[in-house]
Structure 1
């Protein structure tokens, strides 16, 4: 797909091999404990489906239904490499065309592809031990990792060893915690299966972002240098820091062109909506079905905000994961404010079309979205 004379811009197989070699296997569990954890996650995912759909009043089309897969860390890695490979193909094709097809470039491409493959693998090994669940939107189905039928694909991944690790670390009731996690992830599954245009809209925005990427080597190297200087000098966010101060940029922010900033603003707004909606639903359903939800929420929020240490905080800052934490907070505040003002049915107008999605400014000021969408419609 991304080859030039048999040489790939990114050695994806090496990325998988590197990540699976470096990632830790997860907490120690007996064979019976592992089987029970997997079975319970499947039961909770099924139960969460009814809870989420009843609370949100969102009903997916049966034809758009997507599978729920309980995976280990290597399974999560393979699924994400498949997704990256699919999503990044237009950008890598553009870079391949710019590089040219001479013999020297082919040799450089072979070396560069392996170096990039190792780097991607290292990042994935870091992430694979932290993700509890993920709605995999773009990866094509495979024999080992099936997806929804049709071109859209899609599947929900629950990473069993990470869920077990965190429930032990937080010292919370494992049955309650597993259901609580499933409520959040099932909300994402419901969002994409009940809103048929959402996947294509987000994919289009990401392709627009990638299409504007500044791929001149000198500019890219300079921005990489800035990113690593930020990592080396900052060491992670200060308490109460929201990541917006000077010198606190993530790698994603550093590689932006002016045109990309506009696209990234729209992507940030829709991701804030999706993450905030999932947190709002999780908190709304939780007290009815998760007895220890207050304890779980308090402990999890503290862990989410603190990170595991200085290196973890620095990597989160560099990779833009602190921005994701802000998306949970800001998006949940937006959803809560709109539901309180307009009710759940009024909030659900957000799923009408791309034009009714909130802008980044409206996420910060929900009254602006209500005025634009509801008063205009009325």
Structure 2
């Protein structure tokens, strides 16, 4: 049978046999493009083939994240638009004024580098290392599941070939996930307005940026002057970047919380096996849709739910502080309240790309308690001022907890007491600890008293007691006499010796 007469399924089977046998040198990328139907450019397919060749030759290890970058940049740079000189000037002026206003609203210092206007592609390149770090646990889990599913689904006569192809399947599975992540990040670059839009610290430390293309899309239907909108968003972006620059531990804290959640993700092997039984090589979109929809990720475990709750509280605490500081700094803007509400709604709903990210890695980055956290920070600011509020970011153990978001009264009582130099009000744990210490002290007093009597029998008889008038000083009696002004009973100097 000639090659042209073979149907797509037979051609795919032949391709898999050649891949699993290690013979990838003669595979034509155009053949893969015809089979996949994904409309991927030949250059990218050539890179995938080079990765497969490296997997067989032992030169490839782990996931090639360059696939993610190429796919994301391909989407981000599709329109080919850059930042015009007018856009750069307008945003530079907005950032300058926003920095002055923030200096009045917070004690957290300015950034070491000026904020800037960036293209979508520049945002992708700057944030990709963080995306890679967050997605790596999920990509590894999917790659391992694909390897296991292949061994279970393959016929007996192919088991020998599959036994030595585990590394290949990890590479293929990881590359598949990396490609999907690149598509999500690329689409996300068309939605975000600033570096802090997603809530997590994506930009490098000390960097703040606004994407002019997306800024224009965001303000199109708000009927708000562009200069006011730019000032508000610049202030918010600077506040977010300043906070993570000031609290150096906060970046690692957020990333660790996300990774704690991601490490618990497992692939639904039943769903993967069911997909494999009906997979049509001529219709690969089904696998892509399964990845994007989250169909391969099972329901969250209790540990994952707890980790997600902790992350949501942390992100809400950060966003709430940014909200309050931005509100105070932009109080001069007539449209500040309308812009703030638009930003809150946008963060609560999220865009299509952010929803796709949640399906791909099972993680939603939208804080559900942002309004409650903002109310807490407003109450703290009114009680102790900006300096007392911002000092809570100096150390991790000072940061407000989820209980403080629920009821900030105890936090405010402690902060106001500390500002007056008083002891902080005790809570139930402090009271229980104090009672326990008091009981232990009371239990030890009798034994201490009996030991003293045995060691000084004369004192027990009163022979050397200050009350017997031998001239030795009783501190209590001396204080009583000094308080009354009398000193006639102090005795001779030579007699003022302890017994």
TM-score (norm 2): 0.55
Kept in 1: contact 2:388–2:415 (CA 8 A): no
- Aligned counterparts of 1:105 and 1:292: Cα–Cα separation in 2: 59
Determine the structure 2 residue equivalent to 1:343: 385
Bigger Cα displacement from structure 2, 79-88 vs 68-77: 79-88
Q: 2:175 aligns with which of 95, 101, 114?
A: 114
> Cα 1:22–1:196, aligned 2, differ >3 Å: closer, same or farther?
closer
- Aligned counterparts of 2:324 and 2:59: Cα–Cα separation in 1: 48
> Cα 1:215–1:35, aligned 2, differ >3 Å: closer, same or farther?
same
Larger radius of gyration: 2
Kept in 1: contact 2:143–2:173 (CA 8 A): no
Encode CA deviations 1:303-348: one digit per residue, 9 max, x unaligned. Answer: 666677xx68965875789762534323222211222333323322
SS at match of 1:324: coil
Kept in 1: contact 2:316–2:370 (CA 8 A): yes
Kept in 2: contact 1:214–1:220 (CA 8 A): no
- Residue 132 (str. 1) matches residue 197 (str. 2): no
Bigger Cα displacement from structure 2, 102-111 vs 297-306: 297-306
Determine the structure 1 residue equivalent to 2:484: none
Determine the structure 1 residue equivalent to 2:472: none
- Aligned counterparts of 1:365 and 1:255: Cα–Cα separation in 2: 31
- Quote how far apart the aligned CAs of 1:176 are: 1.3
Encode CA deviations 1:332-373: one digit per residue, 9 max, x unaligned. Answer: 222112223333233224213211222223223222443566
Determine the structure 2 residue equivalent to 1:259: 303
- Aligned counterparts of 2:249 and 2:349: Cα–Cα separation in 1: 36
SS at match of 2:192: coil
- Quote how far apart the aligned CAs of 1:283 are: 1.6
Determine the structure 2 residue equivalent to 1:296: 339
- Quote how far apart the aligned CAs of 1:132 are: 0.8
Q: 1:42 aligns with which of 92, 96, 101?
A: 92
- Aligned counterparts of 1:365 and 1:323: Cα–Cα separation in 2: 24
Kept in 2: contact 1:20–1:77 (CA 8 A): yes
| Structure 1 vs Structure 2 CA RMSD | 4.2
SS at match of 2:108: coil
Question: Could you list the runs of 5+ residues in structure 1 that have no partner in the other structure?
Answer: 140-146, 148-152, 233-249
Determine the structure 2 residue equivalent to 1:84: 131
> Cα 1:205–1:314, aligned 2, differ >3 Å: closer, same or farther?
closer
Determine the structure 2 residue equivalent to 1:247: none
Determine the structure 1 residue equivalent to 2:72: 19
Kept in 1: contact 2:384–2:415 (CA 8 A): no
Encode CA deviations 1:58-98: one digit per residue, 9 max, x unaligned. Answer: 236xxx73553421112222222222224555776798899
Determine the structure 1 residue equivalent to 2:264: 213
SS at match of 2:221: helix
> Cα 1:297–1:191, aligned 2, differ >3 Å: closer, same or farther?
closer
Question: Could you list the runs of 5+ residues in structure 2 that have no partner in the other structure?
Answer: 1-53, 149-161, 276-288, 425-499
> Cα 1:216–1:97, aligned 2, differ >3 Å: closer, same or farther?
closer
- Residue 174 (str. 1) matches residue 221 (str. 2): no
TM-score (norm 1): 0.70
